[in-house]
Amino acid sequence: MAKKNIDQNINQEKLSKTAYSLFDFTKKEKPFLIVICILVSVAAIITPYTYAAMWFGFALAAYSAIANDSIQTIGTFIASNQNRKWYWLWLFMGLIFVGTVTYSWLTLDGDVSYQRLTTKGLEKAPESFVFLQLAAPIVLLIMTRMRMPVSTTFLLLNVFTYKAGTILDVMFKSFVGYILAFAIAMVVWFALERFVKNYLKGQAKPYWMVLQWITSGTLWSVWIMQDAANIAVFLPRQLGLTEFLVYTGFVFVGLGFLFYLKGDKIQGIVNEKSNVTDVRAATIVDFVYAIILFYFKIYSSVPMSTTWVFIGLLGGRELAIAIGKHGKAKKKDAWRYRAFKLARNDVFKASIGLLVSLILAVIINEGVRNEILDYFR
């Protein structure tokens, strides 16, 4: 009986802590939650009006996708350039964005996605919208605020595809990307361990800053080639001049806001990793990541989750650094446990986004539902 009372007290204490945490969150995030309520209301009202819904969905997707995925591309760039004025960083990355999408638009007959949206199941532009398609980027905004590295590819593209096979292709390519990035990161950082210890000491030489800006700019451009589809999925597959200018201008301004906020709350995922504020470490991370993304760009035109590639890269790097550390066994175990925990947490959070995207895809798309039902018949 006494044990039962103790268990009840423990459960009540846990419930009280949960309730207090929820109350504390709503109090701290009151302005953000008000904005979310307004966006949900607007999405519900605007859904029947296709043209307005298209641009509303695009605007939400543009900011939420870049804000969430910023940790992959401009995250290390922001972390290692914290002492520089935000508007110089914005102009550098913003102009690279403009140049990259302009090249795609000019050479691919109005397509800004580098043909990622020509994949079967995504090649048709939406002719009408349902509420959950507009709600998907709002969900992404909430997850970004909660510092969850969600796959924007899964969350935004899956709700528009009408083929379950396309979803499986995207998932397969993304998971292969995670494994490859994890393995490459382990090998690279093991190989570089002695070099880093012997040569990357003290204050970084000025040329490292130049190298980092070049590498980060290249990575940003390659990322756009992969993930611009996540933003453009709401729009026609070929954009006219006016549509292209609105598309480019909105993202350019949104980037400025993101740089002004220094990456917002999700930037903490990058900042908690080992030495990413060091320009030399950031340069190496960006260089390896850019090579992997460029390989997958050439490999096939099927979209992929760059988020999974990035968390694989960081996870492999953290584990390699932890294993390579010297010290007492107890201390080494602690370093390895920390690396494993960080990698596990990132995968868990990314998996939540994947699960949400699959649920939305099944609810929204009749074609996906029918394919799944046919499989089990």
pLDDT of residue 5: 54
Most confident of 209-223, 270-284, 334-348: 209-223
With CA atoms as reference, report the closest residue to 361 among 34, 136, 89, 61.
Answer: 136
Report pLDDT digits (tens) over 130-147: 898 899 889 888 877 777
- Report CA torsion sign: 96, 100, 103, 105: negative
Give residues with Cβ within 8 angstroms of 360, minimum separation 6.
132, 136, 139, 155, 158, 159
User: Within its chain, how far is the Cα of 188 from the centroid?
Assistant: 23
pLDDT at 80 over 90: no
User: If you average pLDDT over residues 155-182, what whole number do you get?
Assistant: 83
**Cβ atoms of residues 260 and 70 within 8 Å:** no
**Cβ atoms of residues 216 and 77 within 8 Å:** yes
User: If you average pLDDT over residues 338-366, what whole number do you get?
Assistant: 78
**Percentage of residues of the chain with pLDDT beyond 70:** 79
Instruction: Specify the amino acid at residue 24.
Output: D
pLDDT at 350 over 90: no
Most confident of 65-69, 137-141, 280-284, 328-332: 137-141
Cα 336 from Cα 295, distance rounded (Å): 30
Cα 319 from Cα 185, distance rounded (Å): 9
pLDDT at 45 over 80: yes
Give residues with Cβ within 8 angstroms of 235, minimum separation 6.
54, 58, 125, 243, 247
Give residues with Cβ within 8 angstroms of 128, minimum separation 6.
50
Cα 162 from Cα 29, distance rounded (Å): 36
* Residue whose pair of structure tokens reads 């909105």 in the numeric block: 250
Cα 20 from Cα 137, distance rounded (Å): 28
As a three-state string, the secondary structure of the chain is: CHHHHHHHHHHHHHHHHHHHHHHHHHHHCHHHHHHHHHHHHHHHHHCCCHHHHHHHHHHHHHHHHHHHHCCCCCHHHHHCCCCCCHHHHHHHHHHHHHHHHHHHHHHCCCCCCCCHHHCCCCCCCCCCCCHHHHHHHHHHHHHHHCCCCCCHHHHHHCCCCCCHHHHHHHHHHHHHHHHHHHHHHHHHHHHHHHHHHHHCCCCCCHHHHHHHHHHHHHHHHHHHHHHHHHHHCCCCCCCCHHHHHHHHHHHHHHHHHHHHCCCCHHHHHHHCCCCCCCHHHHHHHHHHHHHHHHHHHHHCCCCCCHHHHHHHHHHHHHHHHHHHCCCCHHHHHHHHHHHHHHHHHHHHHHHHHHHHHHHHHHHHCHHHHHHHHHHHC
With CA atoms as reference, report the closest residue to 126 among 240, 244, 234, 246.
Answer: 234
Cα 311 from Cα 317, distance rounded (Å): 10
Q: Please tell me the pTM assigned to this model.
A: 0.78
The pLDDT confidence band at residue 50, using thresholds 50, 70 and 90, is very high
pLDDT of residue 31: 84
The pLDDT confidence band at residue 102, using thresholds 50, 70 and 90, is very high
